[in-house]
Structures are given as C-alpha cells and as structure tokens.
C-alpha cells in the first residue's frame, strides 16, 4: 500500500543567523518541499528571509506572512520570525496568488487555480488590512466546499496599518497567497478550539452589515 509521509521542521530566527539555524543540505534533495515563513519583524526581514531560503532551496514552494505574534513548539512569541519547512512523499505542492481588490473574487481565483480532484488541503494567507476573510472563504466554497482549508490573515504587530503576504519571491500588500497539497493517499484531519468564556456586561447587537457590527446597545 502506498503511503504519504510528511515531516515538518520548525525554526525560530530571533537573534540567530539563518545559515547557522538551518542545515540546508538536509533538504537539498527533497523534491516536494514547502516553506512557510511567519515574520513578526517587518517586510524587510521577510524579504531577506525569503531570498536566502530560495537561494539555498530553489526547488521549494515558499509562502509567507507578516504576523501579530508567532507560535513555535507550543510557545508564543512576538517580533520574531518562525520558519516551518515540510517535506512530503507521494504529495505534490502547488502555489498560487490573487491580488485583486475583491475578496470574493480572490477566493474564486485561488480555488480555480489550485483545487483539483486530489487536493487534500489548501493553506491560505490573506492580507489583514483589506481582505474580508468571510467573503474570501465564500469565494472558495462557491467552487469547492469539500476541500479542507487552514491558514489565516496577516498581522503587523497590532499596528493595523499595513500587512504583507508572499508567494515565491513576490511580496504583496493586498490579496491572498495559497498552497495546495495534492495526493491520492495523504490523510488530513482538522480540529478547532474556540476556548471563549463570556465576561462583562451582556449587550444586544442591533445592527449589522455583512460581517460588520454597526450598533450595539
């Protein structure tokens, strides 16, 4: 029986040099290689990190996002850069991006470019300042509502001014980047935990527009 194997290696870049942190020779012969960059140190560090990684691993599919906090080994950090490198057997990795102004249409574009009959997972990063995440997901669902998705919206350390996402060596201020994992044998599982507890005074939402709350009493 053919099986699909995946291994993921996580690295924290804070106060370290990339070449000292990652043994690139370990990944040099990997054909199906995915690199995800979560950068809380701004656009310049994101760009430098992308270029260094693709210089050493030109075969890699690489996507990235600026953040408002990072997680590595069950620990949260801020103003750090976390790099996640995944290797696959019997799974191909494909990337695409959409940089239009319409979130719904961007979802349609991503879905049309990436989803095939054997797509097991979409990993999605959108900008965090202009994209309507709900409309973006509706665009994907209008093409295929069965494929599993993961990912999130970019951050900028709670400044709420400008976020960035990347695909390959291209960096975008707006839109979405995505990766599809395609395989006949890969098994993907999802889970969630809202972990919310009500606090404070109870209010009533009086007026909404789409996913935006306009009036609370």
Q: Using CB atoms within 10 A of its CB, is residue 84 exposed (0-12), middle (13-18) or buried (19+)?
A: middle
Crossing angle between the packed helical segments 133-143 and 103-114, to the nearest 10 degrees: 40
Q: What is the pLDDT of residue 74?
A: 86
User: For residue 13, what are the CA distances in angstroms to 17, 20, 41, 187?
Assistant: 7, 10, 10, 30
Please give the structure tokens belonging to residue 209: 């527009």
pTM of the model: 0.90
Let me know: does 203 contact 74? Beta carbons within 8 Å.
Answer: no
Q: Which three-class secondary structure state does DSSP give residue 56?
A: helix
Residue among 86, 87, 84 nearest 12 (CA): 84
Round to whole Å and give the CA distance between 189 and 74: 19
Phi, psi (deg, nearest 5) at residue 111: -65, -45
Matching residue, tokens 């998705």 = 149
Per-residue pLDDT of the chain (217 residues; tens, 9 = 90+): 677 789 999 999 988 889 899 999 999 999 999 999 999 999 999 999 999 999 999 999 999 999 999 999 888 999 999 999 999 999 999 999 999 999 999 999 999 999 999 999 999 999 999 999 999 999 999 999 999 999 999 999 999 999 999 999 999 999 999 999 999 999 999 887 788 888 889 999 999 987 788 899 9
pLDDT of residue 1: 65
Q: What's the pLDDT at 51?
A: 97
**Residue 117 DSSP class:** T
Say how many C-beta atoms besides its own lie within 10 A of residue 9's C-beta.
Answer: 13
Strands 170-172 and 176-182: unpaired
């Amino acid at each position: 029986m053919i099986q699909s194997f995946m291994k993921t290696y996580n690295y924290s870049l804070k106060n370290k040099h990339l070449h000292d942190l990652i043994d690139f020779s370990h990944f040099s012969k990997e054909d199906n290689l995915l690199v995800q960059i979560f950068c809380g140190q701004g656009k310049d560090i994101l760009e430098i990190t992308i270029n260094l990684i693709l210089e050493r691993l030109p075969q890699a599919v690489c996507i990235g996002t600026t953040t408002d906090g990072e997680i590595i080994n069950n620990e949260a950090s801020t103003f750090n850069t976390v790099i996640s490198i995944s290797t696959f057997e019997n799974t191909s990795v494909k990337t695409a991006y959409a940089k239009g102004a319409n979130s719904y249409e961007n979802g349609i574009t991503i879905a049309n470019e990436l989803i095939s009959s054997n797509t097991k997972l979409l990993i999605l990063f959108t900008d965090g300042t202009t994209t309507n995440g709900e409309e973006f997901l509706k665009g994907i669902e209008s093409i295929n509502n069965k494929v599993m998705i993961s990912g999130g919206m970019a951050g900028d350390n709670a400044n709420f001014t400008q976020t960035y996402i990347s695909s390959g060596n291209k960096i975008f201020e707006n839109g979405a980047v995505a990766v599809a994992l395609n395989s006949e044998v890969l098994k993907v599982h999802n889970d969630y935990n809202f972990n919310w507890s009500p606090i404070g005074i109870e209010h009533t939402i009086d007026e909404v527009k789409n996913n935006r709350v306009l009036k609370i009493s």
